[in-house]
Structure 1
Amino acid sequence: MFAVAPLPNIPFPVRRPCPQGICICGHRALLESGTGDIRILRLTLMEEKRLIDRLEAVCDFDDLQKMLHLMNEQLGIRLEITPGYTEVRSVRGLRITFQEQLGLCRKTQKKIPAAIRRCLSDKPKILYRLLDSFDLFRGL
């Protein structure tokens, strides 16, 4: 295990940095620079597990929107879920993209969309409502 030196200027527990050369998240650079959005460092492994469990337990479209808003507000994670370029026949047809962010681990960038896809495949009503929100004729 890696030992992390205590950080006197950060008042919350911080995620352990990824081993060098394995991840390109920039965790160490974010800690060393002292500038930038450090909210993402709150996402420890335990908190990440709670977030994944919560995303899988989303009950409706409004709850999904609330979770996306909270992720942006509390962690600075900007996530966009849109229909793919071609037609959407399944959950895999959705594009789930992150805005580039220093400190966001590549494993986390794979786990969050996978949890959302699992939720949407288990609850297709949320998927249909998501697709309806991109309706071509909604303004008419």
Structure 2
Amino acid sequence: MTASLQIRQPCPPGACDCRREQLPDIPSADLRILHLTRQEEKRLLDRLENLQSLADLEHMQRRMYEQLGIRLQITPSVHEVRSMRGIGIQLLDLPGLCRKTRQSIPAAIRRGLEKHPEIAYELLNAHDLLRDA
């Protein structure tokens, strides 16, 4: 017996710009994002808030793409980075990704970086921004 996969409930009409209703009309649409239910989203956000290392963050980036099709770019500013706001966290456009989710994923990552600033330092060092320090 096979278990059916749960699909996220649609947002109320006019409350979101996720373009979920257009997914069937887009030939190259990635439907994996619909498997991110609200309960799974809470688990993902909790996991992102409790990162342990830069390798853990990179692993989560890969898993988010493999399982949900979410492409996440994390890049430090080329200028001076004084706080976690100086680290750019962007989700690439993905039809079906809820507006609130697009906001909550970067916020959860920033909270994780604030809990473990050594991850932010590793990220800056990986981009060679601490070479003169």
**Same-fold status (TM-score > 0.5):** yes
- What residue number does 1:4 align with? none
Residue correspondences, number: 127
Q: What RMSD, in angstroms, separates the aligned Cα atoms of the two structures? A: 1.7
The alpha carbon displacement at 1:27 in A equals 1.2
- What residue number does 2:83 align with? 90
Structure 1 segments unaligned to the other structure (5+ residues): 1-10
Q: 1:70 aligns with which of 27, 49, 63?
A: 63
Q: 1:106 aligns with which of 99, 107, 110?
A: 99
Q: Deviations over 1:81-108 (max 9, x none)?
A: 0012421111011111111110001100
The alpha carbon displacement at 1:77 in A equals 0.2
Q: Deviations over 1:106-131 (max 9, x none)?
A: 10011000000000011011000001
Counterpart of 2:119, as a letter, is I
The alpha carbon displacement at 1:34 in A equals 7.4
C-alpha distance in 2, partners of 1:27/1:83?
A: 31
Structure 2 segments unaligned to the other structure (5+ residues): none
Q: Deviations over 1:57-86 (max 9, x none)?
A: 111110110000000110000000001242
TM-score (norm 1): 0.85
Is residue 2:127 matched to residue 1:134? yes
SS of equivalent to 1:104:
coil
TM-score (norm 2): 0.89
